Chain A
Amino acid sequence: MTFFLVAPIFCGKTRSKQLRTGFDSRYLYIIAEVDTAEMASYKENRTAQIRLVSSHDEVYEPCDDSFALVDALLADRTNLLEHCPTMCMEIGCGSGYVITSLALILGRERGGVNYIATDINPNAVKVTRETLDAHGVDAELILTDIASGLENRLAGLVDVMVVNPPYVPTPEDEVGAEGIISSWAGGENGRRVIDRILPVADHLLSEKGWLYMVTLTANNPSEICLQMKKKGYASKIIIQRSTEEESLHIIKFWRDFDTTVDEVTDQSLTGFLGSLLAQIPLFSLWRGSNSNDNC
């Protein structure tokens, strides 16, 4: 029997921004999942461990949004393994928590996957390297703006892309600012950087490419899905999580020429229960198709 203790979380990019602008601090509640020992160890071996994630003052530390993205990848693990990606990429790697987790989720079973991660913050790529090393996994790192320098040659080659963008609505002049601000500053509706990333993702993704992206309600995810639909992508919200400050939606996009915009998880489980159950890796294994070893 699994018990879930869900408490308000004071975390995420909105909170990061508030702390920086001098709001009163409140104390941090933690989501506690009281799992069976088995499930806890399953999760521990499959994702990056916080104690091994490196840090720096100017680099965004893994938080709600990072955990939600990794939980989405975990929930989709069977599909990801069957998908047999050759090239995986993260745009905006920050601490390295997500790319490291992706490599751990895919790594042991599937040799021959190449990982690339980029960030605009020099301290972030440095920290990501440390995090990757601490977990015994590897990725190619590039210090650049989104995927600048890779667009010509990497076009149509990325099978899995993961993005936790700067999604917080902020004044325009904060977008692209140096240091940690660049990790959350998203301009009007938090869409400035997201809107630059989407066409790049479309360009780099392979025919079978999948994009997982973190968004906020304020980013207008339905409108994002509609825009992507026009480019030939179907979409699904894999995880929804609400905190006092942020309402996060982890969206998965894939190319599909008979697309319909779908805001419901594929098992027709909606609302709180649905998103809760979507967080249990084993549950999604039962739901998913049979795993096999063929790529």
Chain B
Amino acid sequence: MRLLTHNMLSSNIKGVEKGFPLRIEAEKVVEKPVEMNADFLRKMFEKVEWKAFVEASRSMGYAQLPEEVDSGMLESDEFLSRFHHALLELHLEEGALVCPETGRRFPVNKGIPNMLLHEDEV
């Protein structure tokens, strides 16, 4: 699971109001390089919730992202490369995503988050 996906996931438990972001418990993180596409990064920049993204990247062991950003930074190759790395090259293989409101753990196995709910959570 990439951090881009993590940034798109929120707790789907019935009644939860503040289900984003899910806290990451990282047991196994893997880095897989992939070719950078600046256009794609610029588009994603508009959609990514930055604070959640930085926090998540720290949970994955990466601390090179700036706390605050503005679109001007997209001109910088250095920034783009760090953004690219954190967004697309870090994978949570084993661990869990934790609902910020209920503490319920959604396991992540072989890079796949399990968001299936139990009957009483639907």
Contacts and interface: CB of A to CB of B under 8 A. Distances in A.
* A complexed with B: yes
A140 B2 contact: yes
Interface stretch (A114-122, A190-198, A256-264): A114-122
Interface string A118-136: 0010100110010000000
Interface in A121-178: 122, 125-126, 129, 138, 140-145, 148-154, 157
B37 A149 contact: no
A111 interface: yes
Contact of B116 (A126, A145, A157): A145
B37 A111 contact: yes
Contact of A116 (B5, B10, B40, B111): B5
A125 B40 contact: no
A142 B113 contact: yes
Contacts, number: 76
B39 A149 contact: no
Given A111-B37, A143-B112, A148 B8 contact: no
Given A86-B43, A140-B1, A153 B112 contact: no
Interface residues of A, number: 27
B59 interface: no
Given A114-B4, A145-B116, A153 B40 contact: no
A129 B112 CA distance: 9
B12 interface: yes
Contacts of A114: 4, 40, 44
A110 to B, nearest CB: 9
B108 to A, nearest CB: 10
Interface in A82-116: 86, 111-114, 116
Majority SS of interface residues in chain A? loop
B40 to A, nearest CB: 3
Given A144-B115, A145-B117, A153 B8 contact: yes
Contacts of B43: 86, 112
Given A112-B43, A125-B112, 17 more contacts: A111-B37, A112-B37, A112-B39, A112-B40, A126-B112, A142-B112, A143-B113, A143-B115, A143-B116, A148-B117, A149-B115, A151-B12, A152-B10, A153-B10, A153-B20, A153-B49, A157-B47
Interface of A: 86, 111-114, 116, 120, 122, 125-126, 129, 138, 140-145, 148-154, 157, 295
Give the 6 A-B residue pairs with the shortest CB-CB distance, closest first.
Answer: A112-B40, A112-B37, A144-B115, A149-B115, A149-B12, A153-B8
